[in-house]
Structure 1
Amino acid sequence: PVGRIPGVGKVMQGKLEALGVATVGDLRALPLEELQQRFGSFGASLYRRARGIDERPVEPDQPVQSVSSEDTFGEDLPLEALEPAIRELAAKTWQAARRTERIGRTVVLKLKTSQFRILTRSHTPETPPDSAEALAAIAVALRERVAMPASTRYRLVGVGLGGFREPEEGAQQADLFAAS
């Protein structure tokens, strides 16, 4: 419906429907000149938005809740061969977490098998990981919780850190990140 376009409220939607415009596709069919003649500068805005063009800056509503890094391999690997990739991805994830300036508690390991089955394992330790190495150690331990046949091969691995929260008053956020 045309009312889904930002800035098109009930009144404008009624005006557009009076012109036979009920959907974004209908709006897209109208020429720029006609929209400008009928609605002035807002007509030009409607023209652009019906085409997916919106120059307004994106303003996220929510703070970051999780960060992750993943890698797809050139060839499928056995579970025991994933540790180096897990450690590298944990380091990347840790760096991304540092940029959020928030504390993440839950460590997530994501695996995709050669048959495209996605497996995830997660753990929320009592104390949040305080370094890339601690994050990697938890992610490597999560690998041991994967109960698949030994012949299973994996095409993708990912490491995530979630459950972010703002540092509490007096929390040692800076100290958590200073170690790495």
Structure 2
Amino acid sequence: MSLQPPAPDPVGDNRKIIHVDMDAFYASVEQRDDPGLRGRPVAVGGSRARGVVAAASYEARGYGVRSAMPSVTALRRCPDLVFVPPRFDVYRSVSQQIREIFARYTDQIEPLSLDEAYLDVTSDRAGLGSATAIAEAIRAAIREETGLTASAGVSYNKFIAKLASDQNKPDGICIIPPAQGPAFVAALPVKRFHGVGPVTARKMEALGILTGQDLRERPLDVLQRHFGSYADYLHGAARGIDHRPVRTHREAKSVGAERTFENDLTERDALRAALERVVEAAWVRIERSGVAGRTVTMKLRYSDFRTITRARSTGQPITERAQFLAIGLDLLDQQLPVAGGVRLLGLTLSGLNVAHGGEDGPSQAELPL
């Protein structure tokens, strides 16, 4: 089926966006600070007995070790894996160094986590002549001042810039100008699209949607029927279109994790053990975000896809993992026994102490990629 190229994006085509993503950030900091870890497979977080991997070095990733993986699974894949405890205070300090580097080139910065951010460099404040030159200057400064490497994607919108930053990892850069955007997206697996998780990817696969090209061939009304309000984003993304601006202040509403099970769980002990694994993954994200909150919300999805949530608020911010887990277990116990199996279990922290931000600044003159 032959498709005409989509019409240019009148908003995005005038933006110059960089997505900077540190390479295996936590593990790289540990290898930098302990020369004995260099060249070895390293897992940050967890232990040889229990827990969840928060981050893995590239050497560990070569064995299939990934973040959010149970430690026992990681060890089966890599028996020589070295576990080190996370040092979030150090990671936050290095992250602040990196953001100070960003600020030399633009004040339009949208942090996504400690190790990645979007930058709008449409205004060439440093006078370097192109967004690519800015990205290279940032990467060089990060290497010189922190001893770490970063990868970058340079493009005309956030969606493609994020995809591009992953294209030549580690320590790489990828530039996708407007004329190449739709073709770049068309050739990629949809499971690489930001926001398409494993569940959505499996649903797309069942519909015969494996690539960006497959997605682009589906009419909007078909996508809406299967994906609801998310369809508008997918329809635009498949055409290389993303109008979202870089937001210099983001209000996090909740932080947490959830897990979908291969087989429905019914027994109390299995459900409590599963919730503990969810809490391990969620608490890594909470610590990474540097937030505290007062409300814990548990999400349960049953085998018939009926979904319930139960929440509890506290008088003081929850700052300890043990308290977060205890509240979650109590919320779970109140729903037991379950009449049918549980296929998904999640736990989030909300009511966060995150400051409100302002709106984006005025549009700037065009800068070449």
TM-score by length of 2: 0.31
CA distance in 1, matches of 2:254, 2:262: 27
Call closer, same or farther: CA 1:92–1:60 in 2, change over 3 Å. Answer: farther
Alignment of 1:32-43 (within 5 A): none
Do residues 162 (structure 1) and 350 (structure 2) align?
yes
Secondary structure of the residue that 1:52 maps to in structure 2?
coil
Secondary structure of the residue that 1:124 maps to in structure 2?
strand
Give the C-alpha shift of residue 153 in structure 1.
1.0
Secondary structure of the residue that 2:299 maps to in structure 1?
strand
Q: 1:146 aligns with which of 335, 343, 347?
A: 335
Give the C-alpha shift of residue 155 in structure 1.
0.7
Q: 1:116 aligns with which of 283, 294, 305?
A: 305
Give the C-alpha shift of residue 165 in structure 1.
1.1
User: In the comparison of the two structures, how many residue pairs are matched?
Assistant: 130
Call closer, same or farther: CA 1:60–1:145 in 2, change over 3 Å. Answer: farther
Secondary structure of the residue that 1:87 maps to in structure 2?
helix
CA distance in 2, matches of 1:150, 1:89: 19
Contact 1:121 1:145 in 2 (8 A): no
Structure 2 equivalent of residue 178 of structure 1: none
Do residues 6 (structure 1) and 11 (structure 2) align?
yes
Do residues 64 (structure 1) and 69 (structure 2) align?
no
Call closer, same or farther: CA 1:86–1:7 in 2, change over 3 Å. Answer: closer
CA distance in 1, matches of 2:339, 2:334: 16
Structure 2 equivalent of residue 102 of structure 1: 291
Contact 1:91 1:133 in 2 (8 A): no
CA distance in 2, matches of 1:7, 1:153: 46
Call closer, same or farther: CA 1:83–1:58 in 2, change over 3 Å. Answer: same
CA distance in 2, matches of 1:115, 1:159: 20
CA distance in 2, matches of 1:162, 1:73: 24
CA distance in 2, matches of 1:96, 1:129: 14
Call closer, same or farther: CA 1:87–1:60 in 2, change over 3 Å. Answer: farther
Secondary structure of the residue that 2:316 maps to in structure 1?
coil
CA distance in 1, matches of 2:353, 2:338: 38
Call closer, same or farther: CA 1:60–1:78 in 2, change over 3 Å. Answer: farther
Q: 2:323 aligns with which of 126, 129, 134?
A: 134
CA distance in 2, matches of 1:79, 1:126: 32
Q: Report the residue type matching 2:11 in the other structure.
A: P
CA RMSD of aligned residues (A): 3.4
CA distance in 2, matches of 1:139, 1:93: 12
Structure 2 equivalent of residue 21 of structure 1: none
Could you give the per-residue CA deviations for residues 124-176 of structure 1, whole angstroms, max 9, x where no partner exists? 111222211111100010113327x7432101101111111149xxxxxxxxx
TM-score by length of 1: 0.59
Structure 1 equivalent of residue 280 of structure 2: 91
CA distance in 1, matches of 2:317, 2:267: 26
Could you give the per-residue CA deviations for residues 4-53 of structure 1, whole angstroms, max 9, x where no partner exists? 85269xxxxxxxxxxxxxxxxxxxxxxxxxxxxxxxxxxx8599588325
Q: Report the residue type matching 2:291 in the other structure.
A: R
Secondary structure of the residue that 2:255 maps to in structure 1?
strand
Identity, in percent, stands at: 32
Give the C-alpha shift of residue 61 in structure 1.
4.5
**Unpaired runs of at least 5, structure 2:** 1-6, 14-176, 183-235, 356-369
**Unpaired runs of at least 5, structure 1:** 9-43, 168-180
Contact 2:292 2:319 in 1 (8 A): no
CA distance in 2, matches of 1:52, 1:60: 23
Secondary structure of the residue that 2:325 maps to in structure 1?
helix
Give the C-alpha shift of residue 57 in structure 1.
8.2
Q: Runs of at least 4 residues of structure 1 off by over 3 A? A: 44-51, 56-61
Secondary structure of the residue that 1:91 maps to in structure 2?
helix
CA distance in 2, matches of 1:48, 1:73: 36
